Chain A
Amino acid sequence: MASIVASIWQGITYRGKDGHYAWLLHRLGGLGIVLFLFLHILDIFLVGVSKELFETFLFIYHSAPAKVFVMGLLFGVFFHAFNGVRIILVDFWPEKFSNLKMQRLLFRLVVLVTLLFFIPTAIITVAPIFGTHLSLSHLLGG
């Protein structure tokens, strides 16, 4: 346990560059996805146990702090997915993609595409907190 804590601390405090932060965000996103998977299994399980308990869970999901968690989760999912594509490129075509210049370009692209997907989704997610319900067609002017 002590070594796990030590390696996490080393990961956070090491001042690496793009690749290091891509790795940290990838891990955080992965952990968020696993946490949500457990929560999702639990809430579906509660349907069979008690309808009231399940509805309480849904109520929590719609609360403001939960929406903030979902926003973080969304960022994690998008980043994990697009960074995964970067890792595939580096792993399968090292002669082309495994150099620092390409690495920096790919990291910036991953962040850009992640934000392009994340920002509209985040707006739709948090809008109910402010009493507005939005959909993608609203954002696209439909």
Chain B
Amino acid sequence: MRVTLKLKRFNPEVDEKQHWEEYQIDVEPNDQLLDALNKVKWFHDGTLTYRRSCAHGVCGSDAMVINGRNRLACKVLMKDLGNKVTVEPIRGLPVVKDMVVDMEPFFAKFRAMKPFLINNTPAPDGRERHQTVEDRERFDDTTKCILCACCTTSCPSFWANGEYIGPASIVQIHRFIFDTRDEATKERLEIANDAMGVWRCRTVFNCVEACPREINITKAIGEVKKAILEG
């Protein structure tokens, strides 16, 4: 099938602002959008810049605004996008070049959530801390995050205020506060309870719609809100 790719381009060495460029290419209906972008880069314009790595929805490198909505370029097929496809970089983060954005503000917030198990008590048998299946199930959904930033950059609260910690960071808080092995719940909830924390969520559900791992992020945020209220 022949498709028109409308790409939002930006080269900081040449352009003052972003602009649209169109490319007409032939693709197979079952090609991923990433295949189509590769075709443009390899056969039409080698300057096209975007991140990609595993190409199977695991690394989370190729988050983009595809036909107006956040998705991973490797998880969407051309037959589902129509004959005219628009691709832009994800929103709310500084654009470095074409589809590449500076992810550092996103990762800085992620690091601030202390995304690692905190437990200063020695393990009961000196080796490991056991957990029941039910205890593990409690936070299973939020362990699936691949840090693609699809959720945070689809959130109107994040567009309006880049200081907001964003859905991805709250997912990390949820992942650890409901982990029976973690001992830093109070510390994590203090971060979540900040003015730039969970209360900025407006239950828009864009994050849930955008998440390539189908994490129910709004529910996780709601549960963190309740955990704060219940102490």
Please give the distance in Å from B141's CB to the nearest CB on chain A: 11
Chain A residues positioned under 8 Å from B216 (CB to CB): 98-100
Chain B residues, CB < 8 A from A19: 203-206, 208-209
Q: A141 interface residue, CB < 8 Å from B?
A: no
Chain-B contact segment, one of A3-11, A32-40, A60-68, A111-119 = A3-11
Binary per-residue interface labels of chain B (57-69) against chain A in the complex, 1 for a CB within 8 Å, 0 otherwise: 0000000010111
Tell me the interface secondary structure of chain B in the complex.
helix
List residues of chain A with CB within 8 A of the CB of B209.
16-17, 19-20, 100
Q: When the two chains form the complex, which single residue of A10, A14, A91, A103 contacts B205, counting CB atoms closer than 8 Å?
A: A103
Q: Which residues of A contact B156 (CB under 8 A)?
A: 7, 10-11, 14, 20, 23
B69 CB contacts on chain A under 8 angstroms: 14-16
* A95, CB-defined interface residue at 8 Å: yes
Q: A95 vs B219: C-alpha distance in the bound complex, in angstroms?
A: 6
Q: Is the CB of B68 within 8 A of A15?
A: yes
- What sequence of 0s and 1s flags, for each residue 82-106 of chain B, a beta carbon within 8 Å of any chain A beta carbon? 0000000001100000000000000
Cα(A19)–Cα(B226), bound, Å: 21
- Are B206 and A91 within 8 A (Cβ)? no
Q: Does A132 contact B (CB under 8 A)?
A: no
B residues near A92, Cβ cutoff 8 Å: 226
Tell me, rounded to whole Å, the shortest Cβ–Cβ distance linking A8 to chain B. Answer: 9
- Shortest beta-carbon distance from B163 to chain A in Å: 11
* Interface residue A18 (Cβ < 8 Å from any Cβ of B): yes
* Whole-angstrom CA separation of A92 from B229 in the bound complex: 10
- Chain A interface size, as a band, is 20 to 34
Min C-beta distance of A114 to chain B, whole Å: 18
CA distance A123 to B216 in the complex (A): 41
What would 20 more interface pairs be, CB under 8 Å, given A14-B156, A94-B226? Answer: A4-B160, A7-B160, A10-B91, A10-B92, A11-B156, A15-B67, A15-B68, A16-B154, A16-B209, A87-B203, A90-B203, A90-B222, A91-B203, A91-B225, A94-B221, A95-B223, A98-B219, A99-B216, A99-B219, A103-B208
Could you tell me which A residues sit within 8 Å of B by CB distance? 3-4, 6-7, 10-11, 13-20, 22-23, 87, 90-92, 94-95, 98-100, 103
- For this complex, 15 residue pairs linking A to B, each with C-beta atoms less than 8 Å apart, are A3-B160, A7-B160, A10-B159, A15-B68, A18-B205, A19-B208, A19-B209, A90-B203, A94-B221, A98-B216, A98-B218, A99-B216, A99-B219, A100-B209, A100-B216
